Amino acid sequence: MASLVDSSLILTAVTISCLHTASGPDHYVPFIVFSRTRKWSVAKTIGWTALCGLGHVLSSLVIGMIGVFLGWQLSRFGGITEIRGGIAGWALLILGVFYLVYGIYRAIANRPHKHFDVYDNGEVYVYQHRHNEAYVAPQRRIKVTPWILFVIFVMGPSEPLLPLLFYPAAQQSVVGIITLIATFTFFTILTMIVMVLLGYYGFSLMKPAATERYMAAISGAAVTICGIGMVFMGW
């Protein structure tokens, strides 16, 4: 049975995975377009969505394993495995604050990021753009196929998984690491599938452009809140 600390980490993982996915149109718009223009069945649409979501999570785990390694190294020091709100909690809090600051900086800097463009004939292209800039025809754009889309997802990891995995690694909790990975994977893929099916049938739950730019800052805030709870509230 998960402890309160485990529950707070799991809740943070669920929050980040769902918001990160739902706020990024690139996580579902291409699948909606391919499904409609190529007349995919619902099963095929879900299959490609799940495959790309799995690739996205696996690339995130590459970054997450850095957190596991650092946390495991920290656990070599005496007493770490029994800490609640101690060194491991402080480390999670510090990592969360750093990621929050990084997210705010990235939102203000408004650096180029990938954007999908859908043509009237159903073809999908990907290119770089910035938020709130006047549309300018990009010099470089790549035509997207399902397999290219898979590669794009593999090359786009989610960084907040690093501080989340750090804490159970510092406690040498293999069960905690596996639980967080399974939770992050399940809710990322589930949210992608839900958004794809909603979009396919003409429904929309949110305005993704309003949150996409600030997603890194939101994720950093979620990790920071989790760290604050562990350090100061005895979670």
Tens digit of each residue's pLDDT, the chain (235 residues): 344 446 888 888 898 888 888 877 778 888 988 888 888 899 999 999 999 999 988 888 887 787 777 767 766 655 544 544 466 677 777 878 888 888 788 778 766 666 666 666 667 776 666 655 555 555 567 777 888 888 888 887 777 777 778 777 777 778 888 888 899 899 999 999 999 998 888 765 555 555 666 777 777 788 888 778 777 776 6
In a domain, 129, yes or no: no
The two structure tokens encoding residue 227: 């760290």
In a domain, 126, yes or no: no
The β-bridge relationship of strands 142-144 and 124-129 is antiparallel
In a domain, 189, yes or no: yes
Distance CA 229, CA 235 (A): 6
In a domain, 80, yes or no: yes
In a domain, 118, yes or no: no
Total count of domains within the chain: 1
In a domain, 137, yes or no: no
- Domain extent, residue 89, equals 4-111+147-232
In a domain, 139, yes or no: no
Give me the pLDDT at residue 230, please.
72
* Residue in the block written with tokens 């997210």: 103
* Residue in the block written with tokens 């649409």: 45
In a domain, 15, yes or no: yes
